Amino acid sequence: MRFINLLSSSGLIGSLRTGGRLIIRLAFVGSACLILVSHGESIAQETKETSKADPKVQWKKVLPESGLEGWEKTNFGGEGPVEIKDGVLAFMPGEPMTGVNKLGKDFPTENFEMQWSAQRIDGSDFFVGITFPVGKEHCSLIVGGWGGGLVGISSIDGNDASENETASYRNFKNGQWYEFKVRVDAKNITVWIDKEQILEVPRGERKFSVRAEVMRSRPLGYCVFQSKVAVKDWVYRSIDATR
């Protein structure tokens, strides 16, 4: 019955009465089948994406509520002040970068996802420079670089975010919060902005690394470039690689 209703609502079937009997007339059967297949694939993909994370695995806070316990201000040289208050991480502009990096080794290196919100309050360069582990390697997600709009992964096979296939450009407004999500699993690195998937990098035989300037951000760190930035709601959880 669902099948008939779907076709009927799509205008792909008609009906006529002959000798008191209702005869269903199918039209454009091939198109109908394609719609159903596409609908099924969409549901399957949605199920696949949502099933990777076990709902029983709770999100964990990355940052302390206040202070820098478990973290330190990254010694880039020329960095500006950093503060965590009421769970919000605030960066003041540096010359050129300001950042923090996590101490210890209690953050997962495989099969995890993390999400956070950030806004560039003032400035015109990257307000997301988040370095994270990819197995035994590391890489960085850059958002708002090269004059304010570059998005990409740095580095892949020695090529930074402006030089590899992940590079794209978007308009980011100062004073506006944006939501970000990163997933690292055995096959891919996947990134979302405001719930829109913007890139997926197959890991395969690729080589991931970070630029020399952010080596101190490993294993997990966040930095900004000549910008005043706020970060909040930064959390992570493990995912099931077998799903």
Domain boundaries for CATH 2.60.120.560 within the chain = 60-238
CATH number (3.50.50.60, 3.40.47.10, 2.60.120.560, 3.40.50.2300) of 60-238 reads 2.60.120.560
Q: Taking a C-beta distance cutoff of 8 angstroms, is the pair 140, 159 a contact? A: no
What is the Cα–Cα distance from 72 to 15, expressed in whole angstroms?
72
Residue with tokens 């696949």: 48
pTM reported for the whole predicted model: 0.78
Count helices and strands (H / E) in the chain. 2, 17
Q: How far apart are the first and last CA of the chain?
A: 32
Report the run of H or E that residue 50 belongs to, with start and end. helix 29-51
127 three-class SS: coil
Q: Taking a C-beta distance cutoff of 8 angstroms, is the pair 12, 31 a contact? A: yes
193 three-class SS: strand
Q: How far is CA 95 from the centre of its chain?
A: 27
- DSSP states of 135-185 as a string? TTEEEEEEEEETTTTEEEEE-BTTB-TTTSTT-EE----TT--EEEEEEE-
> What string of pLDDT tens digits covers the 243 residues of the chain?
433 343 344 443 343 333 443 333 323 333 332 332 343 444 344 434 444 556 667 999 999 999 999 999 999 999 999 999 999 999 999 999 999 999 998 999 999 999 999 999 999 999 999 999 999 999 999 999 998 999 999 999 999 999 999 999 999 999 999 999 999 999 999 999 999 999 999 999 999 999 999 999 999 999 999 999 999 999 999 998 765
What is the Cα–Cα distance from 122 to 143, expressed in whole angstroms?
15
